[in-house]
Amino acid sequence: MKKMKYCVAAFISLLMLTPASSLQAQDCQTSLQCVQPSGCESLGDWSNLYDGNTSTCFQTSYTNWQGIEIEFGCTVELYALRRYMTRDGSSTAGSRGWGQGERFHYYDVIDSTWVTLTGSNTSGWDSYWYQLNGYWNNWYVPYGWAPWQTLDTPAYTDRIRYYFDCSWVGESINEIEINYNPVVESEEQSWGSVKSIYH
């Protein structure tokens, strides 16, 4: 018990002595890797789907489910995601078809588990949700910018994943956009306390 009291006192002292200038967002280094299917590095230039430019794209050579992971390099508070998709790298006419699913996930750093974004925990894609064989997907999402998929409650995460079931060779993901804020030092200390309480 003595040791615990000492730790609490030290923690409070640390908070009081922390200068305001150190309470800045971390210098996050975002990175990107494909995660599905096996050998997915060869399917196209994945880096094009997260370079801030809708005229560059990941034009896939694979007509099945494939996925990308974007790692923030630090803990962030995640608010919303969307994507810009085209039929062939440039055409945004119409919507994706029946059975051509897509979905986002984030890694919950408090519960240490992946969470699927669905109609139960987000808004914005409400008309696209479809549950098949126990999995949530989205069909008929329009090409171009999809609506923002906004979390009902902002989440602490350090990475997200985006999966899509490709309709044909050449269908393209031009860009993924993520609305988030890096967690500042004071928030992360608070989050650490929450984590220690519940685990």
- Residue among 96, 49, 82 nearest 148 (CA): 82
- Residue 189 binding Ca ion, by CB under 5 A: no
Residue sitting closest to Ca ion (CB): 56
In the complex with Ca ion, which residue's Cβ is closer, 51 or 187? 51
Contacts with Ca ion in 32-51 (CB under 5 A)?
48, 51
- Residue 61 binding Ca ion, by CB under 5 A: no
In the complex with Ca ion, which residue's Cβ is closer, 13 or 31? 31
In the complex with Ca ion, which residue's Cβ is closer, 43 or 184? 43
- Residue 86 binding Ca ion, by CB under 5 A: no
Contacts with Ca ion in 139-178 (CB under 5 A)?
175
The strand pairing partners of 179, in sequence order, are 80
CB of 181 to Ca ion, least distance (A): 22
Contacts to Ca ion by CB under 5 A: 48, 51, 53, 56, 175
